[in-house]
Amino acid sequence: MILSDTRIREERQAGRIVIRPFRPECLGTNSYDVHLGPTLAVYRTAGLDARRPNPVREFRIPPEGFVLVPGQLYLGVTEEYTETHGFVPFLEGKSSVGRLGLDIHSTAGKGDEGFCNYWTLEMSVKLPVRIYAGMPVGQLIYFEISGRVDRSYGTKRSAKYRRVSSHPTPSRMYLNFRGRSSPRTRSRRR
């Protein structure tokens, strides 16, 4: 079940949903609008490696905006810090942004119960689009959970995105490979 505006307000007052800064005018019928933060990042190399950290170059979006181009992955971040306790947050792009051909996430729209951080956006475009810091980019939708949660996201040792950062966070997929040998190493051992 999706939380209504009234329920989001109630859960916010109870401290189970945290949105900072909170702007009452951004609360929709059953969602909350989030905005693009001031920083973007791009990977420094064209080829990425899932087993290794991939360095990024960060830059601030200038006041006159910045043109995103097709074929480039941009990491953005929400202006809002959020916490979700007892619910599952989903981040979806706003339809006005989608109609510009701008995708704000490729596969990471669902958060976890207990997620406490800014949202990193995996942004790509179909056509060149000028974007601006502070523009509305997405909306958070909150779902109720059926059943008891044994381990909240913030308590899981495997949670790779717990460190709070208001900057875009690059992939930490390489942490999944720690302590594992590579396929080439395993085949040489046989």
Q: Among all residues, which ones are annotated catalytic?
A: 122
For residue 145, how many other CB atoms are within 10 A of its CB? 11
What tokens were used for 90? 């989903």
C-alpha pair distances (Å), 71 with each of 121, 123, 125: 16, 11, 8
Tell me how far CA of residue 157 lies from CA of 113, 148, 160, 184, in angstroms.
15, 19, 8, 27
The three-class DSSP label of residue 22 is coil
DSSP 138-173: EEEEEEEPPS--SS-GGG-TT-TT-S--SS-----G
CB 75 within 8 A of CB 169: yes
Rounded distance between C-alpha atoms, residue 107 and residue 157, angstroms: 22
Tokens read off for 156? 């899981």
Q: Where are the alpha helices (DSSP H) in 25-179?
A: 95-98
